[in-house]
Amino acid sequence: MKPYNLFGALLVVLGLMGTHAAVAQTPDSLDRYLEIAAMNNPGLNADFLAYKASLEKVPQAGAWPDPKLDIGFFLKPMDLVGGRQIADFTLMQMFPWFGTKKAAQTEATHMARMAYEKFTETRDNLYLEVYTQWYILSTLVEQLRNNRENLQLLKQLEELALRKVSSPSGGMTSAMGRTAPGMSDVLRVQLEMAEIENNIESILSEIAAEKAKFNALLNRPVGVEVILPDSIVKVPFLFDEGVSISEIENHNPMLGMLEEEAQAYLAKEEMEKKMSYPMLGLGLQYMLIGESAATPADQGMNNSMSGMDMVMPMVSITLPIYRNKYKAQQRESRFLWQSAREKYHNTLNTLQSDLFKLKHQLDDAERKIVLYRKQEQLARTTYNLVVQEFVSAKSDLTNVIQVQRQLLDYQLRKAEAIAEYNTRVASIRKLRSFNSSNN
Which residue, 15, 7, 115, 140, is CA-closest to 58?
A: 115
Count of domains for the chain: 1
Q: How far apart are CA 181 and CA 164, in angstroms?
A: 7
In a domain, 119, yes or no: yes
Let me know: does 428 contact 354? Beta carbons within 8 Å.
Answer: no
| Encoded amino acid at 275, one letter | M
Q: What is the pTM of this model?
A: 0.83
Confidence of residue 111 (pLDDT cuts 50, 70, 90): very high
Cα distances from 63 to residues 13, 101, 103, 165, 273, in angstroms, run 31, 7, 12, 95, 18
CATH number of 324's domain: 1.20.1600.10
Which residue, 266, 272, 267, 265, is CA-closest to 96?
A: 272
pLDDT in the model for residue 306: 62
Could you report the per-residue pLDDT of 282-332, keeping only the tens digit for each?
A: 999 998 887 776 554 554 445 555 668 788 999 999 999 999 999 999 999
Q: Give the count of beta carbons closer than 10 Å to the beta carbon of residue 102.
A: 16
Could you report the per-residue pLDDT of 255-289, keeping only the tens digit for each?
A: 999 999 999 999 999 999 999 999 999 999 998 88
Cα distances from 407 to residues 232, 391, 417, in angstroms, run 18, 19, 15
Could you report the per-residue pLDDT of 235-247, keeping only the tens digit for each?
A: 999 999 999 999 9
In a domain, 62, yes or no: no
Which residue, 430, 400, 425, 385, is CA-closest to 232?
A: 425
Let me know: does 285 contact 314? Beta carbons within 8 Å.
Answer: yes
In a domain, 408, yes or no: yes
Q: Checking DSSP bridges between strand 280-290 and strand 83-95, what pairing results, if any?
A: antiparallel
Q: What is the mean pLDDT of residues 394-415?
A: 92
In a domain, 391, yes or no: yes
In a domain, 283, yes or no: no
Q: How far apart are CA 9 and CA 50, in angstroms?
A: 12
Which residue, 355, 371, 364, 356, is CA-closest to 420?
A: 364
In a domain, 248, yes or no: yes
Evaluated on CA atoms 381, 387, 391, 396, the torsion sign reads positive
Q: What is the average pLDDT score of the chain?
A: 87
In a domain, 380, yes or no: yes
Output 310 or 214, whichever has higher pLDDT: 214
Q: How far apart are CA 342 and CA 262, in angstroms?
A: 10
Could you report the per-residue pLDDT of 57-103, keeping only the tens digit for each?
A: 999 998 999 999 999 888 777 777 667 888 889 999 999 999 999 99
In a domain, 252, yes or no: yes
Domain of residue 180 covers 6-40+96-276+320-431
